[in-house]
């Protein structure tokens, strides 16, 4: 499976997901964008790693953190995404939503990503 590359503009905050790799730099506001480092372990008191909370037939519900992540106006999850060799599905969230998303018919090699507006990008691989 190809590596997902996600970038953020330090000036305007725009986020770009690179779907096709090339040798060209990803640029915004006249500057090279910063590639997100993907976190995979909960090292802080905040819980960010997505986890499965429900599996029913062909539906998997993912929640951000074993203890639900805060979803206030100041600190929230922007999106949760499922990526595998065939597709990239993004569920957009807003403050006061539940920090979870349900995905249908995921294959066995899927990575779940989530973006926290303060603590960045997190992922887990599900089988």
Each residue of 29-74: pLDDT tens digit?
999 999 988 887 766 555 888 999 999 988 999 999 888 999 999 9
Kindly state the tokens that stand for 9.
Answer: 């503009």
**How many whole angstroms separate alpha carbon 31 and alpha carbon 55?**
43
State residue 89's pLDDT score. 93
**How many whole angstroms separate alpha carbon 86 and alpha carbon 100?**
22
**How many whole angstroms separate alpha carbon 96 and alpha carbon 55?**
24
100: CB partners within 8 A, 6+ apart: 53, 61, 62, 63, 64, 68, 80
**Residue 27 predicted with pLDDT over 70:** yes
**How many whole angstroms separate alpha carbon 115 and alpha carbon 119?**
8
- Which pTM was predicted? 0.85
pLDDT in tens, 67-121: 899 999 999 999 999 998 888 899 999 999 999 999 998 877 899 999 999 888 9
Longest dimension (CA), the chain: 48
Question: Which of 122, 124, 99 is CA-nearest to residue 39?
Answer: 122
**Residue 3 predicted with pLDDT over 90:** no
Q: Is the dihedral of CA 48, 53, 56, 61 positive or negative?
A: negative
State residue 23's pLDDT score. 87
């Amino acid at each position: 499976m190809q590596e997902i590359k996600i970038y953020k503009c330090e000036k305007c905050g725009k986020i770009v997901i690179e779907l096709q790799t090339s040798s060209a730099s990803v640029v915004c506001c006249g500057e090279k964008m910063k590639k997100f480092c993907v976190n995979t372990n909960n090292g802080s008191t905040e819980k960010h790693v997505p986890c499965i909370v429900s599996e029913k037939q062909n539906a998997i519900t993912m929640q951000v953190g074993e203890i639900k992540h805060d979803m206030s106006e100041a600190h929230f999850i922007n999106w949760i995404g499922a990526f595998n060799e065939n597709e990239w599905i993004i569920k957009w969230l807003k403050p006061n939503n539940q920090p979870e998303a349900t995905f249908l018919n995921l294959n066995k090699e899927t990575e779940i990503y989530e973006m926290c507006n303060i603590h960045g990008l997190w992922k887990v691989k599900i089988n």
